[in-house]
Structure formats: C-alpha cells, structure tokens
Amino acid sequence: MEITWIIETFETASGEKMVDEFIKKQQTQTQAKIAHNVRLLKQYGNTLGLPHSKALGAGLYELRIRGKEEIRIFYCFVPRRTIYLLHGFKKQTQQIPSKHLKLALQRMKSLTMI
C-alpha cells in the first residue's frame, strides 16, 4: 500500500490560515492547478521534483504552479510524514522577493519550536 503524506496549512497565532486565504483569492483555473500540485505533493512527498517542486535550501521548498500566472507556495517537511504549506504568492520577477522568503523561513522556524 502506498503511504501518502499529510498536508497541513500553517496557522498564525490568531488562527489565520494565510495559504488557504491566498488560494481562495485565485481564479478558478489557478485554484485547480494548485489543487493538482498539492495532490502530487501529498502522493510523492519528498520525492516530488521539478517542474512541480524545488528545494530552496535550509529545509524550505517551493511548490511551483505554472501557467498564465506563476504561483509559488513555500512548504517544509515535519516529522510523521507531514508537510506544512507556509506561504503563497504570485511570482512576478525572476528572483524570489526576500520578504516572501523571510516570512516562510520565519513560519518554518516557529513550527520547529512547537
């Protein structure tokens, strides 16, 4: 039997799930692409690679949603086959803006403190 991964969404101290809110604001077609990539991530976990996923270093990864709009969702792995979706944004430049990277790293760090 194939073991699937558990997908969780990072929750702020005030109970907000920012990635879920971000996904809800996207167009229907983009939401479908995000759902497809999240299903792939759930199925393949740490073996999912390009073009769907890319390691960014320090335990941080990006889920890459390609199309009319470039969407990135940062995630990390935590024990017991769990993947946390940390932060999502529309990619509009070649480089990942550092504010997005810092936020994702901050959220990942707060998970490891629990």
27's tokens? 């167009």
- Span 51-83, pLDDT tens digits: 999 999 999 999 999 988 899 999 999 988 999
For residues 107 and 86, the answer to whether their CB atoms sit within 8 Å is yes
- Span 2-39, pLDDT tens digits: 678 999 999 998 999 999 999 999 999 999 999 999 99
* Residue from 25, 70, 21, 64 nearest 41 by CA: 64
Q: How many helices (H) and strands (E) does the chain have?
A: 3, 5
Amino acid of residue 110: S
User: Domains (ranges, CATH) in the chain?
Assistant: 6-112 (3.30.2310)
97's tokens? 């803006």
